[in-house]
Chains A and B, each alone.
Chain A
């Protein structure tokens, strides 16, 4: 009897191994081409259907998110999760139109720009109030921008402001150190949300949480949920939904099940292997749009070997982007070759492409003076899909005689190493989501700043440690150019210049996937994942 029982158990376990396994091929066959739903815009943003006046909408919309809200201070963070909250509670002077990327009025109803492009005069409505009912004045803008100068998240955006003059309660003048064609774009960033001077001075921690937006914070339990209630005194009329709740579900499967059971109305970032389930569910709809989260490999240009442009080019030619997309993203990504993001002004459509070509990689290595086997580089990765990408890259490099050692680490450790002043790393797989001004992206990612002793210090997100005065000069010239055609040509030239130096290897961008209940209206799904929920509504 015992022998029979043991044999039966072994058979059950064996059968489990056989039938439980799946294959990549099966997964590929099952992959369904999923179109984006809703109205796609020129910038890649997808708009849900419009909110209708004659429809009764639910009191509360619950959004299942994968990343926690960590702060409600607009100058305390720049993560996507936090930005979505700032867009509900605060306003900025201007906004970026999701349809075409143009700058449109926000808190400021109009503005004028001086001929030399250095002075902006803003006019505000007289009936703006904060969500506690207190009156907004131009002084609150001055306070916010002055405060931003000491914020490690916002200071770069106000670096060009020379002075701010409060003319009266509804008028403000900002003078810049030099003309900046992207100044308004920077002011549209979530980190430039206007705060109440009185509230911040009364409570430096919670004061920044309050803005002039359509919603106010109701309750925040870190690691659990964050809820916002409608501000009925909003000057343009109240939002269609009374309450919006962001509920944290770290596990993607749980998040999707919660959508399927109806516990949440929106599921942000379901697992790619589960997208078919959303498509097949008659009560649900899949929103899919290309995102602007670019995976790239920075090369620390002051490290031995990486200080040689031919070595960097060899590594670029050895990057098999298609295979990385297939293996690390289940095919759900698009190759990127530019140094700025899709949709940014001045993206060069004719940029030279470092296509995957091991023969060219070997030629570049030969030009460098290094022989195959001479070079070993360490590449840092922090997530499973990046590890997969690194393995593919390692394999390619081994075929051209460059040894790649993969160092896996936690995200906090990776960030620490990249930000540490010692710059003690060689390669990494990292990502950036800038889709603000082209100058802002290029300056942050590749620019450097002159120090008092005449040396150059790399800028904040410049992971490749590039310190090139010619590049800085080209950037400065493009920033002040008022002729758009010339400015575009300037940025094309800058991208060509970068391509010749090859400080990073752009790899790919993937997709934003969102599962929603059918009929959900009013939301705008942004390619930078900072979705606009202010007018979100779900019919009863």
Chain B
């Protein structure tokens, strides 16, 4: 098992190198020379050239890439073109906010989707099943910035229960987490339902019922456990997506997360911040995927046996 984990961590290196190259290439192809975002209108040609050297924009794409990788291997993500702050510091300022939002959003998603999916599966083709799927469809279809504004109007403005934006205190994360969580719950609900339906048809459950096991135990102890693999997969994918930043929710709620950091940096052609933040996010996503794979092993011993081969 440990060999498997170490192998997965070592695979991170070529992934990061590839990600860095792709981002470099894209940002260089994008229109809008970064020098003009930083230099004033009075900049002379000499000042522009000096700025280019200072910003590391001199040389070919490959030369700049290798220069960047050299610094990356020393743990240096560079300095923001715009704020002149260390990119790692900027990212670490935002990361706790993103982790808070992502964790709570996933909790909201799981609390809504798993029971709803189980109810839908157990009561297949009844009004409960239809209602659950309609709710899932609404959650999937509703633009989350619209939901966010509605929640803000009701709970922040009308009722005054939560703040409308910002990241101060636990109350400030509730509305953004519900906004993001509802959207995530939709897909998780459908996955839970379909996975449970596959498992509920299995013979061993009929045997369990014949042996007199209670229906509650059949569903939650026997069926759900075996239905968890696809649910965990979708959970892992969604958690990774949310770690990359929920830009719309962050914008609506003025939530200072990683998503907005990256989008604002792209707008300003702040290449070091874009590259650094995406590399850090890639690392996080890889670690999350690794954790998901490890969880598989504990949920399903057959998978653990494969890892130890």
| Residues of chain A whose beta carbon lies under 8 Å from any beta carbon of chain B | 1-2, 5, 9, 68, 70-71, 77-78, 150-156, 205, 221-224, 247-251, 253-254, 257-258, 260-261, 263, 409-417, 419-421, 444, 460-461
Contacts and interface: CB of A to CB of B under 8 A. Distances in A.
Given A222-B80, A223-B94, 9 more contacts: A223-B260, A249-B254, A254-B149, A258-B163, A258-B165, A261-B164, A263-B164, A416-B37, A421-B45
B42 interface: yes
Interface size grouping (class) on chain B: 35 or more
A178 to B, nearest CB: 19
A444 B164 contact: no
A358 to B, nearest CB: 34
Contacts of A2: 130
8 contacts: A9-B134, A150-B47, A154-B42, A222-B93, A261-B164, A412-B37, A415-B32, A415-B37
Contacts of B42: 151-156, 460
B40 A151 contact: yes
A420 B51 CA distance: 14
A222 B164 CA distance: 20
B127 A257 contact: no
A261 B157 contact: yes
Interface in B66-115: 80, 82-85, 90, 93-94
Interface in B171-222: none
A413 B254 contact: no
A152 B55 CA distance: 15
A223 B261 contact: yes
Contact of A152 (B40, B127, B134): B40
Contacts of B260: 223, 250
Interface in B263-282: 264, 267-269
B61 interface: no
A254 B252 contact: yes
Given A1-B127, A247-B254, A78 B268 contact: no
A99 to B, nearest CB: 29
Contact of B30 (A68, A260, A413): A413
B122 interface: no
Interface of B: 30-33, 36-37, 39-45, 47-48, 51, 80, 82-85, 90, 93-94, 127, 130, 134, 149, 152-153, 156-157, 160, 163-167, 251-254, 256, 260-261, 264, 267-269
Contacts, number: 135
A221 B33 CA distance: 26
Contacts of A224: 93, 167, 256
A78 B40 contact: yes
A198 to B, nearest CB: 20
B31 A409 contact: yes
Contacts of B43: 152, 460
Given A153-B40, A251-B254, A412 B268 contact: yes
A410 B93 contact: no
B51 to A, nearest CB: 8
B238 to A, nearest CB: 24
Nearest to B36: A419
A433 to B, nearest CB: 12
The CB with the most chain A CB atoms within 10 A, among B85, B90, B93, B166, is that of B166
B40 A254 contact: no
Contacts of B152: 253-254, 257
Contacts of B165: 249, 254, 257-258, 263
A247 B93 CA distance: 16
Contacts of A150: 47
Contacts of A223: 94, 256, 260-261, 264
B85 A222 contact: yes
Nearest to A414: B32
The CB with the most chain A CB atoms within 10 A, among B84, B90, B260, is that of B84
A110 to B, nearest CB: 30
B131 to A, nearest CB: 8
A261 B267 CA distance: 30
5 interchain residue pairs of minimum CB distance = A153-B40, A152-B43, A460-B41, A412-B32, A413-B31
Given A257-B152, A416-B32, A420-B33, A70 B267 contact: no
Given A410-B267, A412-B268, A415-B36, A250 B254 contact: yes
Contacts of A250: 251, 254, 260
B262 to A, nearest CB: 11
Contacts of A257: 152-153, 156-157, 164-165
A356 to B, nearest CB: 31
Contact of B264 (A68, A78, A409): A68
A260 B42 CA distance: 41
Contacts of A261: 156-157, 160, 163-164
A223 B252 CA distance: 14
B267 A420 contact: no
Contacts of B44: 152, 155
Contacts of A411: 267
Contacts of A152: 39-44, 47-48, 51
A258 B157 CA distance: 8
B267 A412 contact: yes
A410 B254 contact: no
A250 B31 CA distance: 23
Nearest to B253: A254
Contacts of B83: 70-71, 222
B33 A416 contact: yes
B226 to A, nearest CB: 29
Contacts of B41: 152-153, 419, 444, 460-461
B268 to A, nearest CB: 6
Contact of A221 (B82, B93, B157, B252): B93
Nearest to A223: B256
A263 B47 contact: no
A5 B130 contact: yes
Contact of A251 (B40, B130, B166, B252): B252
A135 B167 CA distance: 39
